[in-house]
Amino acid sequence: MDKNEKENNDNIDITYWFELFTHSIDKNCQLKHSKNINISMIDHKMNLPFGDILEINEITNINSINSIKNNLNKNTIPNNYIACLIDNRTELFNLLTYNYISQLSIYFPLSQEKYLLTTSRIIISNNYKEDYNYTKTTDKPNKYFNKEFNTYFNHLNSIYNEDILNTKWKQLTNEDKLKYEVVEPGTIKFDDKKNNDDLSKYEAQEEMLYSKNFSVVYFIPLDIDYVIYPPPQVVANSRKPQFESLYKPAKKVKRFYHHLDLESCKWIVKELNP
């Protein structure tokens, strides 16, 4: 089934958004910051919107980390995730512990695609333990807080954390590891010399599994607003010595709404007016 055929289907396999998103990243991988993704949520204490930028560490299948427990129906668990690394001393980490729903957005300039993803999250951290219950949450009721959400949220949180953190930590360079060991992010900077000296002397310690400040967040897409922008009608023909212009037929903006049905574990896809 090709891309256009899939977009016209109401019920799509759960891996479909994963295929779209990874393909978009591949098409833009030559750009230095192609994996930087914007995150936004509500700061409940200040009653204001909050935004930041994270780097995508990987897009993964939870089954590759740990097998699904036998006593839980696989069909209740969305199994593709966007993983990001985070320092648990940051304000972003603190707000994520209070926000079960956040929005991620990313624009890929080379392929001219935009993704707006409404996501839940699983926090893997020794500094934070979670026991989500949709009947007790302080968030306002909405379509995401239900029994199915509650089931997979608590199940994934039960996956042992140490192996995940240890594996991710080992993949970091010494320079990246140092970021989790030096001064607290967001504090006033006084002297660069000490940090530079620390970096030059830093060596990974065998007995140290990972920093106490190191955490991993898995974002689980629930809704995706996906927009494809058309290329320009006239482009330069680089194969000609004088860069003659080539005319291409006009294309329209295409927009698709992807919604995850938690009961069937299927994506429902509808084309929208741009």
What whole-number distance in Å separates Cα of residue 121 and Cα of residue 48?
Answer: 20
Picking from 60-69, 164-173, 258-267, which range would have the lowest pLDDT averaged per residue?
Answer: 60-69
Residue 120 pLDDT: 85
pTM equals 0.78
Tally helices (H) and strands (E) across the chain: 7, 11
Determine, yes or no, domain membership for 129: yes
Residue 189 pLDDT: 74
Nearest to 258 by CA among 59, 53, 21: 21
Place of tokens 């300039």: 109
Determine, yes or no, domain membership for 205: no
Residue 115 pLDDT: 97
Q: Specify the higher pLDDT residue, 97 or 148.
A: 97
Domain ranges, residue 52: 3-170+211-231+247-272
Specify which residues 116 forms β-bridges with.
105, 225
State what percent of residues in the chain have pLDDT above 90.
36
Determine, yes or no, domain membership for 134: yes
Q: How confident is the model at residue 73 (pLDDT cuts 50, 70, 90)?
A: very low
Q: What is the mean pLDDT of residues 236-252?
A: 62
DSSP code per residue over 58-126:
EEEEGGGTSPPPTTS-GGGS--EEEEEEEETTSHHHHHHTT-SEEEEEEEETTTTEEEEEEEEEEEE-T
Picking from 10-24, 69-83, 104-118, 124-138, which range would have the lowest pLDDT averaged per residue?
Answer: 69-83
Q: Within 10 A of 9 (CB to CB), how many other CB atoms are there?
A: 14
Q: Within 10 A of 77 (CB to CB), how many other CB atoms are there?
A: 21
Q: What is the CATH number of the domain that holds 7?
A: 2.30.110.10
Determine, yes or no, domain membership for 78: yes
Determine, yes or no, domain membership for 188: no
Residue 66 pLDDT more than 50? no
Count of domains for the chain: 1
Residue 194 pLDDT: 55
Instruction: Kindly report the length of the chain.
Output: 274
Residues 238/254, Cβ–Cβ less than 8 Å: no
Place of tokens 């010399």: 193
Contact partners, residue 261, CB within 8 Å, separation at least 6 = 11, 267, 268
- The per-residue pLDDT for range 99-147, each reduced to its tens digit, is 888 999 999 999 999 999 999 888 888 877 766 555 555 455 456 666 6
Distance of CA 140 to the CA centre of its chain: 23
Determine, yes or no, domain membership for 73: yes
Look over the chain and give the mean of its residue pLDDT values, rounded to a whole number: 76
Place of tokens 């239900």: 146
Determine, yes or no, domain membership for 52: yes
Residue 237 pLDDT more than 70? no
Nearest to 171 by CA among 127, 131, 136, 204: 204
Distances from the Cα of 116 to the Cα of 132, 161, 248, 261, angstroms: 25, 28, 28, 18
- The per-residue pLDDT for range 167-225, each reduced to its tens digit, is 899 999 999 999 998 877 878 877 655 555 555 555 555 556 889 999 999 898 889 99
Residue 117 pLDDT: 96
Determine, yes or no, domain membership for 154: yes
